Chain A
Amino acid sequence: MTCRDHDVLLSLRAAGALDAAESVRVEAHLAGCAACRAEADALAAALGLARLPPVSDAERRVLGELPERTLAALRRSSRRRSLGKRFAAVFAAAAAAAALVLAPAVLRKDPGAPAGEAEVAWEAPDLDGIWNDTAVIDLESSVAAGEDEADAVLAALDN
């Protein structure tokens, strides 16, 4: 095998990722090839310098808070989600009630309208339609809450 055939294996060797058979093959090649030995040393040096230092005590102290903070953030987000759902339900009910009260006034003929304008006959609101609309509002807000959940969770991080 040529030096070129060992290219990838030398990188894997520097990462400590060779299996036993590969290791035997690579070491046999390195024993007789000074150029590849130099390349292997250079790769090991580069990866050694690129590695991060071990976790310091200061880091460990800060990172030790991770489970509790994550759990607290999740609880905050769950509370927000449940409040949001309740708000959406109340809003939908209020919108339905407002539609029932305001629909006759809105649909009644405007007394100041110019003569000649076609008269619009008042029609009773379609209660089924209003009900369906509010149901859609409620459904949509639930779906949106699901899709935006990740953002809500992230927003909870700031509190």
Chain B
Amino acid sequence: MDDAHDKGQRPNLRVVAGGASPASGQAAGDRAADEALLAAFLVGDDDAFGELVRRYERLVVSIVRRYTRTPEDARDLAQRTFLRAFVAARRTLGRDPQGAFPFRRWLVRVAVNLAKNHLRNELRFDRAGASLRALGPAEAPPVGADQLLRAERAARLRAEVLRLPRRQREVLTLRIDAELPFAEIAEVLGITENAAKVTFHHGSRRLREALGREETP
């Protein structure tokens, strides 16, 4: 294999449209592009791999960011997500080269699962959940009493997001962090679109109630 990549050179990346928030689900063209890149990767084109990572890094990072303490943790969790998805793709397409592999859906599902496991590890030695407030990206330092108060409430509410029941947390974060349409959230989680919307409603109502409790002395 070419050693140039091992020396830290960037893979040659072609620009492909994509991102964290497609209009609705994944367009057929995007899926075909994914499949072409996966096929190229499976026959040894490492640049295709780099391109797939570049194509979906924003989406994956947006999912795992809430669960990590540092940007380095977020990067490592995102890296694990890609590696697991690629291993699954290689195994699936290795068995059936003509088969389809819904890469984006797999990626989101793996990211959600790894984030959940990461959260479980964070909570393993912290039954009270005190460390929840340390998770997620840091805010810019607040200036003034108002900003300080807002930052304090935001930190409490973000910890509340992590305390939501699993399904509510998954749906809510896939919507407000990854900005996925409900149709895609439903597809990823294997539920109906209507169930995803109702679950989102229950999750947001819990957050609203938590905010209400905070504001009531």
List residues of chain A with CB under 8 Å of any chain B CB.
7-8, 11-12, 14-15, 17, 39, 42-43, 45-47, 49-53, 55-56, 58-59, 61-63, 65-75, 77, 146, 149-150, 153-154, 157
Contacts and interface: CB of A to CB of B under 8 A. Distances in A.
Contacts of B177: 51-52
Nearest to B176: A51
Contacts of A59: 65, 71, 74, 137
A11 B211 contact: no
Given A75-B6, A146-B91, A150-B83, 10 more contacts: A42-B212, A53-B139, A61-B71, A62-B74, A63-B57, A69-B79, A70-B79, A71-B53, A149-B91, A154-B83
Given A8-B197, A74-B49, A63 B157 contact: no
B146 interface: no
A150 B106 CA distance: 14
Interface residues of B, number: 60
8 contacts: A43-B204, A56-B137, A62-B72, A63-B74, A63-B75, A67-B10, A70-B79, A157-B76
Contact of A52 (B13, B66, B175, B182): B66
B5 A71 contact: yes
A7 B208 CA distance: 13
B87 A49 contact: no
For the complex, would chain B's binding face be called helix, strand, loop or mixed by DSSP majority? helix
A85 B136 CA distance: 41
A49 B172 CA distance: 13
B154 interface: yes
Nearest to B205: A11
Contact of B137 (A55, A75, A153): A55
A8 B53 contact: no
A53 B87 contact: no
Contacts of A153: 83-84, 87
Interface string B143-177: 00000001001100110110000000000100111
B53 A15 contact: no
